[in-house]
Amino acid sequence: MGGDKIDLYKRFSILFCTIFLLLILQGTVAAESNYTVDYSTYLGDKVVDEARDVYVDDSGYIYVTGSTHVNGSKDVFVTKFNVTREVIYHTILTDTSGDDWGHRIVADGDGYAYVVGEINHDGLKVADAFISKIDPSGKEVKRVYIGGSGYDVAKGLAIDYEGNIYVSGYTISTVLNVSELGGGTVIVPGTNPNATPLTDWTYHGGYDAFLARFDQDLNPVNLRYFGGSWDDYCQGIAIDYAGNIYITGYTYSDDFPLTFDAISGDKRGTTDIFLSRFTPDLNCDYSTYLGGSGPDFCYSIISRDSLIYLAGKTNSSDFPLTPNAYQKIRNGSSDGFIMVFNDYSVEYSTYLGGRGDDSINDITQDILGNLYLTGWTGSDNFPLTPGAYDSSLSGVDAFVMKFSIPKGVLYSSYLGALRLTRATVWRLTGTRTSMLQGKPGPQISR
């Protein structure tokens, strides 16, 4: 018990990544209002560079990915920092003269980093999704493409307890293949001999979600489409305690594949959220719509024990809420939302926002069960707490929030030094690390 208590109250960092601005806020897991700027630095060169994701491993090493300008086009970069914020390596994944982005990054227990995103080819309006493995010294060990003749992008990345790697995203390619850099085609959809009727390897129309499984050496194990006849945008992936794989995003399809026990069997708005669960063999055993009569968008998903947490934004005045919701009325034209899913039911759901437009772009959780949220807000009455790092709205600002179910907002602050393009709060470690992304405004630190 004593050891557990010390761990609960150890210091943690919230890592903010802007266009190569790193900002560290420090506090304790139990803190609600005593956050201070601990560290801030630029990274990058003379042209625009973007950081899109960060991961912190159990040893405190920080991995960042995004895009950097090289010879007139954007290439994917991976940067690794040690615990004293020194750069261990800065690796650029060169390809063609097209613009490329790294969207997600994770690392395994041996210090290998895995990054996914999109590679755009010379002069063509197409892109392939990719996954790359980087060794502890920064050398790219292997790169695998997931793509066809259209636009394909990987937006989700997760590793299970056995080391299997799952990649999710969306594609408009009618034939989707997996191929290794410098090699030939490795696998095509439809190779799973144990497919169930709901396991569909056929492209349906518009953008479809895709889901792929690899081993630790990036050898492909399985690949599938998932979607309806209109556009389906998969934004994230999570793995629960039992090894089930969940994907989420938003869909325009009225015929999105659902199971008989779906919470909602009909799409209510222009776009609805979807939540779909798969076995490790990529067979779907649960799928549902979620949302109200307006457009709804889910951008982030995490798993803890048997619970699945979703976050995004909603324009629905009738978004499905639970009786214990922190905020029961939509205050602006769009508000953020938090939804907690347990097996086949919604355990908790709430709006979160002010009278302007608000969006939650990412969510994570600490060892006490507190949620950490970030995104953007145009609300001058956004729920802030006393002692907020920044209490003045500067147009459209990033925000960072600590939230408890059922207590509500424990800490909340604007981050007005950032002109936001995208905000992300990211991965859990024992030292509680998260990230936010945006563009630096007139002030880069406070």
Q: Is residue 119 part of a domain?
A: yes
d(CA 297, CA 250): 5
d(CA 339, CA 409): 15
Write down the pTM of the prediction.
0.87
d(CA 388, CA 297): 28
* Residue 3 pLDDT class (50, 70, 90 cuts): very low
What own/partner pairs with CB < 8 Å and gap ≥ 24 does 34-40 have?
Answer: 34/387, 35/389, 35/411, 35/413, 36/389, 37/389, 37/445, 37/446, 38/13, 39/85, 40/444, 40/445
Please report the pLDDT score of residue 307 as a whole number: 96
Please provide the DSSP assignment of 352-395 as one string.
E--SSBEEEEEEEE-TTS-EEEEEEE--TT----TT-S--S--S
Rounded alpha-carbon distances, angstroms, from residue 221 to 95, 148, 153, 188, 337: 25, 18, 19, 10, 35
Check whether 250 has a pLDDT greater than 70: yes
Is it true that the peptide bond before 406 is cis, omega within 30 degrees of 0? yes
Q: What is the pLDDT of residues 363-383, one digit of tens each?
A: 988 888 999 998 999 999 999
The pLDDT > 70 percentage for the chain reads 77
Q: Which residue, 288, 290, 292, is CA-closest to 330?
A: 292
Please report the pLDDT score of residue 25 as a whole number: 59
Our measurement of the distance from residue 102's CA atom to the centroid of its chain's CA atoms, rounded to an integer in Å, reads: 12
Residue type, 36: T
Q: Is residue 201 part of a domain?
A: yes
Please report the pLDDT score of residue 122 as a whole number: 61
For the chain, give percent helix, strand, coil, nearest 5: 0, 50, 50
Who contacts 208 (Cβ-Cβ below 8 Å, separation ≥6)?
170, 171, 172, 225, 226, 227, 232
* Residue 148 pLDDT class (50, 70, 90 cuts): confident
Check whether 21 has a pLDDT greater than 60: no
Residue type, 365: Q
Q: What is the pLDDT of residues 63-106, one digit of tens each?
A: 999 988 887 788 999 999 998 889 999 999 976 668 899 999 99
Who contacts 88 (Cβ-Cβ below 8 Å, separation ≥6)?
61, 80, 81, 82, 138
* Residue 56 pLDDT class (50, 70, 90 cuts): confident
Check whether 20 has a pLDDT greater than 70: no
Sheet holding 296-304, edge to edge: 296-304, 307-314, 335-342, 345-352
| 1-5, 121-125, 232-236: segment of lowest average pLDDT | 1-5
Count of CB atoms situated within 10 Å of the CB of 36: 10
d(CA 300, CA 249): 8
Our measurement of the distance from residue 220's CA atom to the centroid of its chain's CA atoms, rounded to an integer in Å, reads: 22
Check whether 24 has a pLDDT greater than 50: yes
Q: For 354, what's the count of Cα atoms within 13 Å in the CB-facing half-sphere?
A: 16
Secondary structure (3-state) at 434: strand
Q: What is the pLDDT of residues 262-284, one digit of tens each?
A: 999 999 999 999 999 999 999 99
Structural domain including 159 reads: 43-226
Residue type, 184: G
The pLDDT > 90 percentage for the chain reads 59
Strand 439-440 to 397-404 pairing? unpaired
Would you say 359 and 338 are in contact if contact means Cβ atoms under 8 Å apart? no
Would you say 309 and 338 are in contact if contact means Cβ atoms under 8 Å apart? yes
| 8-17, 109-118, 152-161, 385-394: segment of lowest average pLDDT | 8-17
Q: Is residue 359 part of a domain?
A: no
Span 213-226, mean pLDDT?
92
Q: Is residue 91 part of a domain?
A: yes
Please report the pLDDT score of residue 310 as a whole number: 98
Top mean-pLDDT range of 29-43, 95-109, 207-221, 427-441: 207-221
Q: Which residue, 338, 356, 355, is CA-closest to 347?
A: 338
| 3-12, 141-150, 425-434: segment of lowest average pLDDT | 3-12
Top mean-pLDDT range of 16-25, 31-40, 93-102, 139-148: 139-148
Secondary structure (3-state) at 99: coil
Who contacts 375 (Cβ-Cβ below 8 Å, separation ≥6)?
311, 313, 336, 358, 359, 360, 361, 362, 398, 399, 423
Give how many domains the chain has, as a whole number.
Answer: 1
* Residue 26 pLDDT class (50, 70, 90 cuts): low
Please report the pLDDT score of residue 251 as a whole number: 98
Check whether 2 has a pLDDT greater than 50: no
Q: What is the pLDDT of residues 302-352, one digit of tens each?
A: 999 889 999 999 999 999 999 999 999 999 999 999 999 998 899 999 999
d(CA 326, CA 337): 10
CATH number at residue 84: 2.120.10.10
Would you say 220 and 174 are in contact if contact means Cβ atoms under 8 Å apart? no
Which residues partner with 118 through β-bridges?
101, 129
d(CA 27, CA 15): 12
Q: Is residue 341 part of a domain?
A: no
Span 195-204, mean pLDDT?
57
DSSP H or E stretch at residue 276 = strand 272-278
d(CA 92, CA 175): 29
Q: Is residue 51 part of a domain?
A: yes
d(CA 120, CA 125): 8
Q: Is residue 213 part of a domain?
A: yes
d(CA 139, CA 150): 29
Average pLDDT value for the chain: 82
Check whether 185 has a pLDDT greater than 70: no
Check whether 193 has a pLDDT greater than 50: no
Check whether 48 has a pLDDT greater than 80: no
Check whether 415 has a pLDDT greater than 80: yes
> Higher model confidence: residue 190 or residue 103?
103
| 115-124, 146-155, 281-290, 299-308: segment of lowest average pLDDT | 115-124
Q: Is residue 211 part of a domain?
A: yes
